[in-house]
Amino acid sequence: MIKKSTALIAAMFVSGCQMTQQPDILVVNEQTPADFVAAQPNDVVNALTLDALNDQQIVEEAPVFDDVWERIRYQLSIPVPQNRAIVSERNYYAKHQSYLDRISKRGSPYLYYIVEEVEKREMPIELALLPIVESAFDPFGFSQRAASGIWQFMPETGERFKLKQNWWYDGRRDIVESTRAALDYLSYLHKTLEGDWLNAIAAYNSGEGRVLRAIQKNRQKHLPTDFWSLDLPKETTAYVPKLLALSDLLKRSDEFKVTWQPIVNAQVVDVVDVGSQIDLALAAEMAQMSITELYRLNPGFNRWATDPQGPHTLLLPLDIVAPFNEQLAKTDLKQRIRWQHYVVQKGDSLSVIAKKFDTSTQSIQTLNELSSNMIKVGQELLVPLSDANIDNEHLSKQMRLAAAPVKKQTVRYKVKKGDTLWDISNAHDVTIQQLANWNKMSADSILKLNQELVIHKSSQAVQPSRLEQSAKAITYKVRKGDSLARIASKFKVSVDDIVKWNKIDSKQYLQPGQKLKLNVDVTRT
């Protein structure tokens, strides 16, 4: 209606209201009604502007969500065909609410950050669900093929996308760095595979070479080159349906009666640049959090401290960042590493000393501000306490496992009543597709009672910590003037350990003659 009125006014202004003006006389055309008031130029401009505004499309603002899952659900855009592969995967997920709960718990520190990064790059939000398929958000996840981290990077692919990997640190497990590399890789695949996101996701699993060859093969036969038409490995043909099944289950969670445990849609962690190498146990103390919590947010570190050459960044809970920075500012650089004095002996070199204390030459150089490897007999050095001394108190077995070499082990499993491939794969920490491939069956095969399955598990030869190698149980009789702190210092153990070993209250006074059980590292005492 506004458009018609505006057009009419404009037309009348041009033709119906033609006027000739003589000095002091206004002559109105006879066709114009006597009571008509001519539109002024400003009226026409305003009307045309209003008309143009009405032609513009109104853009709705995205709603604000309290839950990250809701935020993802709102943006899901990749069509999900209801084919057999997707329905099968979706049914598996829908039947295992406990698995979805575990995903939410593991992903809660990371998912908001991942969603933010995906949105910044204007990539499909479905990619934020990819770590579920890859690792179920387990930062210490390690595959048969030596892929590692929540995005499951192979060593070579990690190097290709600038993920540092050395004795100190593995960027494939670093949440921030691996997310950056994964999105870089997916962007590259999307461009290489002519803008087809499903093919790009498939190539993330099998490599772009495999997908490009499949596309070329189809083109030669004048066949379609979409994902569903390509001849790809079984693992890859199941990989994309898993992601789409999760997307569909999230979109229609009410229909399938599943719950996605809420994850707060707000920044909960932040990156802090420490600026130098730091002992992670010390960093945990300064952040007032347990070493396990610190490693959970910073799973890229292999050792007791950050890499001397960096990165020197830590992912910390947002509410801890300010007090941590205050503590950091008060801590001298040399105090950030736990060290001991060492006098150089005849035959010593930095590499010999580093090997003796299970640390690195670079770490000794950095701590002592040495410009070269030259040292002399009698010279005093500060030697960082290595994981041989720190691991036993602070570094978790899980971290030692993540850095350990992989060995393969074959297990034979006899199917029990009620077993499914899903149950067996979860129990043995392998994928359904792996089970199917190893036993020459399809992923939706029906199992028979007492059927024997072959399972190839990766076992990692974890060297026991020095405490585990040289620990000795002793009974200590409390003497007059003893305290828990004094005994702990004497035997190089922690007060918490003494309390735990003896099931006593740390607030109670010790009595002379009281007997305490201690697990003492005889090589340190």
Residues serving a catalytic function are 134
Instruction: Give the residue carrying structure tokens 């899980």.
Output: 398
Q: Is-contact 389 466, C-beta < 8 A?
A: yes
Q: How far is CA 337 from CA 61, 158, 363, 366, 375, in A?
A: 50, 29, 10, 11, 21
SS3 string, 384-449, reads ECCHHHHCCCCCCHHHHHHHCCEEEEEEEEECCCCCCHHHHHHHCCCCHHHHHHHCCCCCCCCCCC
Nearest CA to 182 out of 140, 148, 228 is that of 148
Residues 6+ apart with CB under 8 A from 255: none
Round to whole Å and give the CA distance between 211 and 142: 24
Instruction: Name the helix (H) or strand (E) containing 320.
Output: helix 318-329
Q: Collapsing DSSP states into helix, strand and coil, what is residue 518?
A: strand
- CA triple 79-113-134, angle to 5 deg: 55
> Pairing between strand 406-414 and 380-384?
unpaired
Residues 6+ apart with CB under 8 A from 479: 512
The pair of structure tokens assigned to 226 is 């979409």
Residues 6+ apart with CB under 8 A from 21: 27
* Nearest-10 crossing angle of helices 111-120, 175-192: 40
Round to whole Å and give the CA distance between 192 and 197: 11
